[in-house]
Each structure stands twice: as structure tokens, then as C-alpha cells.
Amino acid sequence: MSEIVENSGKSGIEGKVVAITGASSGIGEATALLLAERGAKIVLGARRPERLEALAARIAKNGGTAVWARTDVTRRADLAGLVQLAREQYGRLDVLVGNAGVGLISPLDDLRVEDWEEMIDVNLKGVLYGIAAALPVFREQGFGHFVNTVSTAGLRVVPLQSVYAATKNAVRTLSEGLRQEAGDSLRVTVVSPGAVRTDFAERMEPTVKARIDELMEIALPPEAVARAIAFAIEQPDGVDVGDIVVRPTAQG
């Protein structure tokens, strides 16, 4: 408890305990590396343990601190375990970055119902399970910060992305409701990336994937989004950065 009291007023990034879902690649990986470089203690969660182990080793080699746990955000127990790992290792949790997501975009006429369900389970229910795991801990501590990765797809809805955009807009709405209920001791941020160079399109149908690959020619590196997340986290207590949009200047 003494450690929680000591750190409850800490601003900046150094010393903060940050759990990240979807941490094995892309935005999650870039965020973990940047925050660790700035002195945060990182708790990595994703479905690929070999990637997590390698990332934790890379962070340690660079002088940082990280632990990891295989985390499938569609399983509520996995999110509870990730939060518990943070508390066991570091005594508290300052930030939960809800970054895990899938974008199985396709025309609605294709009726890829299983893909729709997976996006709902990962993109929306995964965030809800994170809130269920971390909110009681944040209330007990008297501080905490949710950072949820959404998408510009929810700001400008286009064909093929209807269900994906719907899940991201659901998280945006959920986050705003959470912010209003959070009171003056918790913070809530949503970060909306545009096109980012990740493996986002790997599981898409080939013709759709080809269209996304064209967009990747103007895409941002994941580090650009990581810097936005770091900006929100480093603000002093009492400053809540609610919504950040990060997209290529060339993106419509």
C-alpha cells in the first residue's frame, strides 16, 4: 500500500506500470518499446507467447523492465490474469492500454458472420473485459488510466468496413460513458489511428487485402501512434486527454 500512495501522484511516464493488450506486434509492440524506453514498467499481453517473450527480452536488453502473459482478450479470465500479474510484479497498475483488435473487413453481402462475431468478441468485448478487470483495481488505488485504441474507420465510415467501424464506434461510445462515470481520479483516452503499417490485412480476402495494401503506401509507422499514446499517459494528474486522431496527412 505504501508504494501505491507514493506513486498515486506521479505524472509523466517513468515508473508507471502499464499493461498493454495486443502487444506482440504493430502499435502494441511499438508502444511497449517506447514506454519502456521512457522508464515505464511494462506488462505485455497477446496471444503469441513466443513474440511476447522475445519482446520482453528486447526491452530488458535495452535496460527496461517487462513481464508478459499469454492473453486472449476474448477470455475474461485472461484479462483478469494480466491485471493480477501487474499487481503481483509491481504492486499496482497505472495504465491499461486496450489495443488488441482485428479488422476482418469484407462486403456485408459476403455474410462472413463468423468474422463479424470475431470482431465483436475481440474489438468490443475484449475492451469490456479489460475494464472489468482493471476498474475495481483503479477504484481501490484511487487512480488509473484507460487508453483504448479505436480507429478513424469509426469517424469516416466507408464500404467494406461496416462491422469493423461499428465495433470501433462502440468502443468510442463505451469509453465516453466510462469517462463520465470515472470521476476525478481516473482518466480515459481513445486514440484513433488512420492507416498504419501493421499486419492488419493479413487475414483478409485477397481482393480486399489488395486494396488495403495500396493504402499502406501512405501509412504511418506504428511508432507515430505510440507517441500519441505516450502523450496521453505523460500528462499531469487532473489532465485527461480524451480523444486523439493520428493519421497520414495524405489520408482522406
Task: Give the active site residues.
Answer: 164
C-alpha cell, 237? 494528474
Query: Around 109, how many Cα atoms within 13 Å sit in the side-chain half-sphere?
Result: 1
45 with 78: CB under 8 angstroms?
yes
H runs (alpha helix) in the chain: 2-7, 26-37, 49-61, 76-90, 113-119, 126-141, 162-182, 206-215, 222-233
CA-nearest of 193, 242, 251 to 221 is: 193
C-alpha–C-alpha distance, residues 245 and 236, integer Å: 20
In the β-sheet with 243-246, what is the strand arrangement from edge to edge?
65-70, 41-46, 17-21, 95-98, 144-149, 186-193, 243-246
